[in-house]
Amino acid sequence: MTETNKIYRMDCLEGLKRLPDSCVDLIMTDPPYLIKDTHAGGHSQLARSIQPINDCLKENDLVSGMNPLVLPELVRVMKRINCYIWCSKAQIPGYLDFFVDGLGCSFDMIVWWKTNPPPTFHNKYLSDKEYCLYFRKGGYCQPDSYEKAKTVYFQPINIYDKKDYPHPTIKPLNIIKNLIENSSRPGDLVLDPFLGSGTTAAACLELGRNYLGYEINPEYFGTAEKRILDTRAAERMIKNTQNPE
Ligand SMILES: C[S@@+](CC[C@H](N)C(=O)[O-])C[C@H]1O[C@@H](n2cnc3c(N)ncnc32)[C@H](O)[C@@H]1O
């Protein structure tokens, strides 16, 4: 039996198979990116300038993309297709094929435009954007203000959360919270099969949503557990200040 408001240290494919059909209201996830190894022959010296960043991601097994068997499982467990997936540029065509051409979903693209990207611009453009595709078919998207309806976020790399909750690709909590708030209601169940440092779970705790997460790497799983404990403690403190006995 899978409990909610819990995270599991396991391969998400194994975890997803234990879930019943149509139990999840929203998926917010950030699977490993698909990034070419510029060590491989034929790449220019200039292209190799981004190799140190890619090496760090590779070391942590964050460049091999998503197992394609996961996608049909994600669809099976959602009540209606309502799904945000962060991805690299190379993954965009595959996700569009699956969700739009294959399943007839509508889609949108959210962009995090980094205001302080690393200066890696030899023979290439800066790596100054991250993409998040939103797919839905009957899914819910109700931003309650002009500000919350924006699709482009201009903000720097997230050094503050990264210091407390180390993960090479931690996402900004404010963006994740805004997207979850736009596409779910209080009490809904939000699933993140590639949890990392636990950003989705922390956002759910702050927003009164239920969460469920999987993380395969023991170190990141520990970070996510700590983050959940910290967030629960902070939420309790806010509640006590608002309603002193
Ligand atoms: C891009 S990171 C997610 C970062 C997260 N959004 C955050 O803000 O911290 C992807 C995570 O998926 C994990 N992962 C990779 N394959 C997995 C699998 N098969 N099952 C569960 N987790 C997996 C990696 O260890 C990594 O922490």
Q: Is 216 in the pocket of ligand 1 (CB under 6 A)?
A: yes
pLDDT in tens, 6-20: 999 999 999 999 999
CA distance 223 to 73: 26
Structural domains for the chain: 21-188 (3.40.50.150)
Token pair recorded at residue 191 = 């699933």
Distance (angstroms) between ligand 1 centre and the Cα of 58 equals 13
Distance (angstroms) between ligand 1 centre and the Cα of 41 equals 28
Question: Exposed/middle/buried for 119, CB within 10 Å: 0-12, 13-18, 19+?
Answer: exposed
What confidence score (pLDDT) does residue 185 get?
98
Distance (angstroms) between ligand 1 centre and the Cα of 162 equals 15
pLDDT in tens, 55-106: 555 565 555 678 899 999 999 999 999 999 999 999 999 999 999 999 999 9
Residue percentage of the chain with pLDDT more than 70:
87
Our mutation pick for probing the ligand 1 site, out of 161, 215, 223, counting the most ligand atoms within 8 A of Cβ, is 215
Distance (angstroms) between ligand 1 centre and the Cα of 79 equals 23
Q: Phi/psi of residue 162, each to 5°?
A: -65, -30
- Would you say 73 and 104 are in contact if contact means Cβ atoms under 8 Å apart? no
- pLDDT bracket for residue 188 (50, 70, 90): very high
